[in-house]
Structure 1
Amino acid sequence: MAEEDAKAEILDKVEKLYSAVNRIRFYREVAMDDKISDLLTEAEKLRTEMKLSEQEVEKLADDLDEFYISGSSSYGDLDPISHWVNVVYGRLSKP
């Protein structure tokens, strides 16, 4: 049960990170830079907690965008959000 609880918590953080990254991208696109600062802080906090690099965060967001738009996943039968939950869980489980 501990693994399921941990993965549920990670899933929540992955979804929050994805939301923050998408809002950052949107605000940059429409030149509303004043809205970005708090989102950048939130995204950085989540990224650090989940031990992801900046490049991995962009890949995560791109993977989820692709999945939600086209329904395709580059992770076989696994959807991208499950893939990233497993990646983060593996990193956080290491001593």
Structure 2
Amino acid sequence: MLRVLLMVLVVANVVTALAIVETRQRHRQLFMQSTRLQKARDELNIEFGRLQLEQATWAESNRIDQVARDRLGMKFPEGDDIVVIRP
């Protein structure tokens, strides 16, 4: 009877040790995955900041005015070209 109990305890001890090893390995894998995802998140945040800066640059009124004048040949109308229509 004592031998059976001892064998059960030894088997339980080995099974518990294997479960601990498996759990720690899984924890390491999840930690590495979490680290990779955080790095990717940080890189995306940096890229998003760059894109916001670029968008702000392209949307500046001076930039729009310059493109309208240079590429489209637009200009402000002269005083004689302005017509006011009243109802």
| Larger-Rg structure | 2
Same fold by TM-score greater than 0.5:
no
Provide TM-score, normalisation by structure 1: 0.31
**Larger RCO: Structure 1 or Structure 2 (Cα < 8 Å, ≥ 6 residues apart)?**
1
